[in-house]
Chain A
Amino acid sequence: MAALTRPFRRRFLRRGRGAAASEAEQRAAQPDLAPEQTPVEIAPNDPLLAYFQSAGEAVDIEELELDSPALRELKAAGVKLAVPLVSQGELIGVLNLGPRLSEQEYSSDDRKLLDNLAAQAAPALRVGQLVREQEAEAATRQRFEQELEVARLIQQNFLPKKLPDLPGWQVAAYYRPAREVGGDFYDVIPLPDGRVAFVVGDVTDKGVPAALVMSATRSVLRASATRLIEPGVVLERVNEHLCPDMPAKMFVTCLYGVLDPASGRLRFANAGHDLPYVKTANGVIELRARGMPLGLMPGMEYEEKEAVLEPGESVLLHSDGIAEAHDPDRGMFGFPRLKETMAGSPGGQKLIDSVIAVLEAFTGPGAEQEDDITMVTLQRSAGAAIVAGSANGTVLAEFELASEPGNEREAIARVEAAVAGTGLEQARLDRLKTAVAEATMNAMEHGNEYGADRPVSIRVLSSADSVKVQVTDLGGVTELPEREAPDLEAKLAGRQKPRGWGLFLIEQMVDEARVTGDEGRRTLELVVRLRGGDDGDT
């Protein structure tokens, strides 16, 4: 009987001078076309319903005796004959006929004709009903899709159209909404003093409500970012603005950072968002700062932290759509896997590409994306300090050397010639020469394995107060070979190999030594100040 709860199946005409039920139903569905024809409702518990359903032929209304309100109504309306329309055991309509126009009774031929008609009309009517149901469902679906489209439009409208061009930095971003748009967003805001603010956020909930809250958050963030300096204060202000109007059970997580492109300093605060990762020469680390999500309660404070991105290092801001993605067995992608992926790939666009590739391999082909996926990554170019610096960064020499034992002497000679005019003190020059020799040997031996077609590249740069030498090999990994701290006693006693002095010497000889790498290249960068201070050289 459940099917009978659909109203149009229980509507019948009061006066139906031979009118077809299907036509009558259409009118019932469009009452403005036939206002005089009020359908008779049969209540679900009316015995007439069961009677019609099992009658199997035209029913004489006048002779029928049942305690049925609907039957009384039909009689009152002057209905003589009712022809039930039954399809697959279900009553889907009734043909109600008044008196014949000839005022004679209905003959048995008439009844046979009507029964035949009913037998054919019922399935046709059923098909018509199904088509209409499907149309109604399609309309509902379309409304849903339209809503999603609106959410998508709002969302995309508020994402940055292009990313800023930062000299010495590679900036890349990725945003792919789930079908049922989540509330992810990101933003890049150039600040008046040359610094740049970066935001990645996620609004709870999905669809239009999330998109609207996201657009409000983004607007308040933009307004606050340009007026306030400290990331923690910016988040405080945004929280105060959002709290009064935030819909119940909604909030926004958000990571907000301000980068000084010249120095690589990144100040950041976090409103309950996933921790960003920094890839350094020593592995991938998390940037932690405490803070509650935005819009939950007023008066919140946000811890502020600072990190420095050295040349070659990169930071990744991301949303939970990555770590919380599932594989076909409902296993979660998880943060460790994301961290691992970052450790194993260069920065910039390539990092984003490899995260997407690993994620897609994990979720399996054709899997529907569960949540929005958002990434923003900033990589400081190797040697960025020189490029980005204002008054420094002259390239004094740039050359390649074949990886053959002894060629480090050639490297020393050419570096010495290159820095001749810089005013580098003799003692400091000697140290630089030793460091360059060791770095070159290391590159030839460990990075290039003395490959005939694997040269070492050397670049000599000068700034106002220092000389920098970059020794690059094709060693692919950013870590230098493992080393134990050289311990002379242990070596003399035979507990350590006599070798293993190279990296130790390099570190002792220069003011700064660091390793950077990208795409199968590894650079050891040596910096020596032109003049000494307190470190005891004569």
Chain B
Amino acid sequence: MATRELEVTLQERGGAAVLALHGDVNASAEAALQSAYGKATSGDPGAVVLDFSEVEYINSTGIALIVGLLAQARARDVEVRATGLSDHYREIFEITRLADFMTIEEEEDHA
């Protein structure tokens, strides 16, 4: 199972900028994630939504990237939400307390 380079598609959904992530959230995802986040926030959206539906693998470096995004968003008072997390990664978001600083949307179930 090789690493799947992250691709990010930027969408707009109900006033929020949705970053649809495809691939692995690891060290190699940094550039793609940063650039997409930059584009998303340039339009001054009401919120940024990270969609993990097409993400199979998040590692500790990926967590650090998300922490970095969250820090930037908080500095500019932008709300961040997450969606499409599997049970496993939702647990990790809870353990790391990321879930305390971003809303985890549950409308999709990827158990």
A residues contacting B by CB (< 8 A) are 405-406, 408-410, 412-413, 427, 430-431, 434, 437-438, 441, 486, 488, 491-494, 497-502, 504-505, 508, 537-538
Asked if A409 meets B3 with Cβ closer than 8 Å, knowing A491-B67, A498-B68, A498-B71, the reply is yes
Quick check: B68 and A486 within 8 Å, CB to CB?
A: no
| Complex partner residue of B1 from A413, A431, A488, CB under 8 angstroms | A413
Given contacts A430-B88, A494-B71, contact A488 B101 (CB under 8 A): yes
Distance, CA A178 to CA B12, complexed state (A): 85
The answer to whether B2 touches A406, judged by C-beta atoms less than 8 angstroms apart, is: yes
- Other CB < 8 Å A-B pairs besides A431-B91, A441-B59, 10 of them? A406-B28, A412-B1, A427-B88, A430-B86, A486-B96, A488-B100, A498-B65, A498-B71, A505-B63, A508-B95
**In the complex, A493→B61 CA distance in Å?**
18
Closest to A506 in B: B60
Contacts of B83 in A (CB 8 A): none
State how many angstroms separate the Cβ of A492 from the closest Cβ of chain B.
Answer: 5
Contact B57 A409, beta carbon cutoff 8 Å:
yes
1/0 per residue B87-111: CB within 8 Å of A? 1100110011110110000000000
Question: When the two chains form the complex, which single residue of B1, B64, B74, B91 contacts A409, counting CB atoms closer than 8 Å?
Answer: B1
CB-CB nearest in chain B for A438: B60
Which among A441, A488, A505 has the highest number of chain B CB atoms within 10 Å? A488
> How many A-B contacts are there with CB distance less than 8 Å?
76
B78 contacts the other chain (Cβ, under 8 Å)? no
Q: How far is the CB of B95 from chain A (nearest CB, A)?
A: 5
Check A406/B26 contact, CB under 8 A, given A441-B59, A498-B64, A499-B60: yes
- Check: B27 CB closer than 8 A to any chain A CB: yes
Which residues does chain B contribute within 8 Å of A431, judged by CB atoms?
88, 91
List of B residues within 8 angstroms of A412 by Cβ: 1, 57
Contact B2 A409 (CB under 8 A): yes
Cα distance A431–B92 when bound, in Å?
Answer: 9
A sample of 28 inter-chain contacts (CB < 8 A) reads A406-B2, A406-B3, A409-B3, A410-B1, A427-B91, A430-B87, A430-B88, A431-B88, A431-B91, A434-B92, A438-B59, A488-B67, A488-B98, A491-B67, A491-B71, A492-B67, A492-B71, A492-B101, A494-B71, A498-B64, A499-B60, A499-B64, A500-B60, A501-B63, A501-B64, A504-B96, A505-B92, A508-B95
Q: How far is the CA of A504 from the CA of B97 in the complex (A)?
A: 12
Let me know if A409 and B71 touch, CB within 8 A.
no
Q: Does A427 lie within 8 Å of B87, measured CB to CB?
A: yes
Whole-angstrom distance between the Cβ of B50 and the nearest chain A Cβ = 15
Q: How far is the CB of B101 from chain A (nearest CB, A)?
A: 7
What's the least CB distance linking B68 to chain A, in Å? 5
Is residue B70 contacting chain A, with contact meaning CB distance below 8 A?
A: yes
**Complex Cα spacing A502 to B61, Å:** 8
Does B24 count as interface, using CB distance less than 8 angstroms? yes
**Does B87 lie within 8 Å of A538, measured CB to CB?**
yes
Are B100 and A492 neighbours in the complex by a CB distance under 8 Å? no
Distance in angstroms from A103 CB to nearest chain B CB is 125
Q: How far is the CB of A509 from chain B (nearest CB, A)?
A: 8
Does the CB pair B65–A505 fall under 8 Å?
no
Q: 5 shortest A-B CB distances, which residue pairs?
A: A430-B88, A501-B60, A406-B3, A413-B1, A498-B64
CB contacts under 8 Å to A, within B41-98, are 57, 59-61, 63-65, 67-68, 70-71, 74, 86-88, 91-92, 95-98
Closest-CB distance, B69 to chain A (whole angstroms): 9
Chain B proximity of A1: nearest CB distance (Å): 93
